Amino acid sequence: MAIPLHADHDLTPEHTTYVDTVFPKETGFHLLTVEMPEGLPDLPNSLYGPTCGDDPVSEDQVSYVVRGDRDWEDRVTDKPRRPSRKLTMIGSREWDDSITLYTAHGGPPAAQNPADPSCGDQEESKAFWATHALVK
């Protein structure tokens, strides 16, 4: 069963079982967002901004905080988490058919923080985070 390494997004055992059924079968890295079927509970979405159908999140609505063990600040807002029927999974299918699931969460995918050393496109990331924020 695929258990996310970053496992603080309220996934139930039923969600992780579902991940096992929909995660791509091809080996390699995958980022996948799906609509969850009836019967699976909603997941909280902690993202605000245009990709969620919201207006851009302006600077007067945010603060910047270091979350977890990261070395950078994230753009956050005091708004509440919202239920979502979307499930985003980021991980890789290994050669032995196992899944390394880096994270899975409710809602659409978000760009990496531009300060993250593994960020592939800092300009695209800066543009994304200029209009989006995570729930504090």
**pLDDT score, position 10:** 84
Q: Are 7 and 16 in contact (CB under 8 A)?
A: no
For the segment 75-104, what is each residue's pLDDT rounded down to a tens digit? Answer: 999 999 999 999 999 999 999 988 888 889
**pLDDT score, position 97:** 87
- Strand arrangement, sheet containing 133-135: 47-48, 133-135, 73-77, 62-66
**pLDDT score, position 16:** 87
pLDDT by position in tens, the chain (length 136): 555 555 557 888 899 889 989 999 999 999 999 999 999 999 999 999 999 999 999 999 999 999 888 899 999 999 999 999 999 999 999 999 888 888 899 999 999 999 999 998 999 999 999 999 999 9
pTM of the model: 0.88
**pLDDT score, position 68:** 83
- Strand-pair partners of 76: 63, 134
How far apart CA 131 and CA 58 sit, in angstroms, is 7
Q: Among the residues of 1-136, which ranges form H helices?
A: 13-22, 122-129
